A and B are shown apart, each in its own frame.
Chain A
Amino acid sequence: MDAPQQMKRLADSPHGTSRPASVRHANLSGQVMGTKGLATRKRLIAAMIRLLEAVPLREVTVKAVASAAGLSPATFYLYFRSVRECLHAAAGSVSQSTPAILEILERDWDAESGAANALALVMDHLELWEEHRTLLRVRNLAAEERDPLFMRQRRLAMDASVRAMTDLAERQQAKGDLDGAVSPVALASALFAMLDLVSAVIHVHDGKKPAAERERIAAAAYVLRAGLGCEGGAA
């Protein structure tokens, strides 16, 4: 397959270029990427992330990314057609449905274990945010600008977590701990929406004040366990 055809195939594919790095073997010229090619691609992604830490997405140019990686723009275009595509590839590898988060959601939540489970969930989700803050933040910005590629990506990253919490809510309803009139998937989506925003802005309002952050984490955990029916009411 020659280069233009390869480009066209990528553009026409329903998945665009959203496939994770692990299944993408060829660069945009159709060359199979060896160790060196994958390393170059990683270098470009790392350079873009460094730039995004200081500059909004719209101001990050291909030229700047290439130069920050010590490469030429021509090399950049071997791997990505745009900065947006580079971001999409990088953010696509960040899942918000990690095995640790799914495991917590598969546990039995009750009045006793609910507090510890909810706190663990908030902490794990926040840790994920701390590790990938720049990528998740810029991905969310693009999703909130209604870029369909990033809206879908955000949803996919959350998908397994939302489904696991939906199952948890159903179990809570079966036990009689959670109001049967509440839609489990709507509740799971709303609680993750809350969790995502709390994680995103945890430093914005208070700066890095550990005490305020701890209170916010405890409050988010409380809302989770209350929403899922693990809170008795009186305390």
Chain B
Amino acid sequence: MSAGGSRRGRSRRTQREETQARLIDATVELLRAKSLMELAATDIAARAGLSNAAFYVYFRDVYDAVLAACARADQSPPELLAVLESPWSAATAREAAAALTAGYFAVWDTHRPVLRARNLAADEGRLEFVKARQLAVAPLAGALRRQIEAGQAAARIPRGIDPLALTNVLLALLERTGAVRHDYADLTPRWQQDYGEAVVHTLLSALGFGRPVRI
């Protein structure tokens, strides 16, 4: 007990941050091989070369450690935001949608274990994880919403569709396909490419840049 207190009282902030980072590293590494369900504080502490007691100085429980790891998985990196913040036109939309899809998938591939654990905890109804998920995509969601509103102003997207609702649906498309895109690789010979192109096609169609329907 007193050990925890004295640790907290120490003024050596950098060492504290280093230890915490080590525990977060260990959490991320373990999530690569283990599911959130199997993850135990003991394992994280052992992996970081620390005692169980040390773990609890920094985190309340496993979820707390995973939540800290989530902060590292930014789903709105600057290059992705830049794609959505520049205006889309018929000439540039395909390239932009392809860059958005590829960029979103790349973030998932880099942070898959942490993002999967976060979504799992969020889907279990843990509000702090629901919030973490919203925060991670908030800048991207804002930019996508402005893109949708521009499309409605230009009469490319029906005005009756709620821009926020469409934003959430298109983010759901990117989020789930990013999460599962490696799972069904047996369905077509070039699955990764086909799946990505299907997402690009759907984004373009929904944003009013689809091929005109033959009337």
Contacts A140-B123, A194-B172, A219-B166 given: A227-B214 contact, CB under 8 Å?
no
* A128, B151: Cα distance in complex, Å: 33
Spot the interface stretch: B4-12, B69-77, B204-212: B204-212
On chain B, the residues within 8 Å of A137 by CB distance are 123
* A133, B162: Cα distance in complex, Å: 25
> Do the beta carbons of B214 and A176 come within 8 Å of each other?
yes
Within 8 A of A (CB), among B174-199: 175-177, 179-180, 183-184, 187-188, 191, 194-195, 197-199
> Do the beta carbons of B130 and A229 come within 8 Å of each other?
no
A: which residues have CB within 8 A of B?
56-58, 111, 137, 140-141, 144-147, 151, 155, 175-177, 179, 181-183, 185-187, 189-191, 193-194, 196-198, 200-201, 204-205, 212, 215-216, 218-220, 222-223, 226-227, 229-235
- Some 10 contacts from A to B, beta carbons below 8 A apart, are A185-B187, A186-B194, A186-B198, A190-B202, A194-B169, A194-B202, A216-B168, A222-B161, A233-B208, A235-B158
> Do the beta carbons of A183 and B194 come within 8 Å of each other?
yes
Nearest A residue to B148, CB-CB: A219
> Do the beta carbons of B161 and A231 come within 8 Å of each other?
no
* A189, B164: Cα distance in complex, Å: 24
* A125, B183: Cα distance in complex, Å: 22
On chain A, the residues within 8 Å of B187 by CB distance are 185-186, 189
9 shortest A-B CB distances, which residue pairs? A183-B194, A235-B158, A215-B162, A215-B165, A186-B194, A219-B165, A145-B35, A226-B205, A186-B198
* A220, B168: Cα distance in complex, Å: 9
On chain B, the residues within 8 Å of A190 by CB distance are 173, 177, 195, 198-199, 202
On chain A, the residues within 8 Å of B54 by CB distance are none
Q: Which of under 10, 10 to 19, 20 to 34, or 35 or more describes the interface residues of B?
A: 35 or more
* Total A-B residue contacts, Cβ distance less than 8 Å: 158
Contacts A204-B130, A219-B169, A234-B155 given: A227-B164 contact, CB under 8 Å?
no
Q: How far is the CB of B91 from chain A (nearest CB, A)?
A: 15
On chain A, the residues within 8 Å of B130 by CB distance are 204-205
B: which residues have CB within 8 A of A?
35-37, 116, 119-120, 122-125, 130, 134, 155-162, 164-166, 168-170, 172-173, 175-177, 179-180, 183-184, 187-188, 191, 194-195, 197-199, 201-202, 205-206, 208, 210-215
> Do the beta carbons of B169 and A223 come within 8 Å of each other?
yes
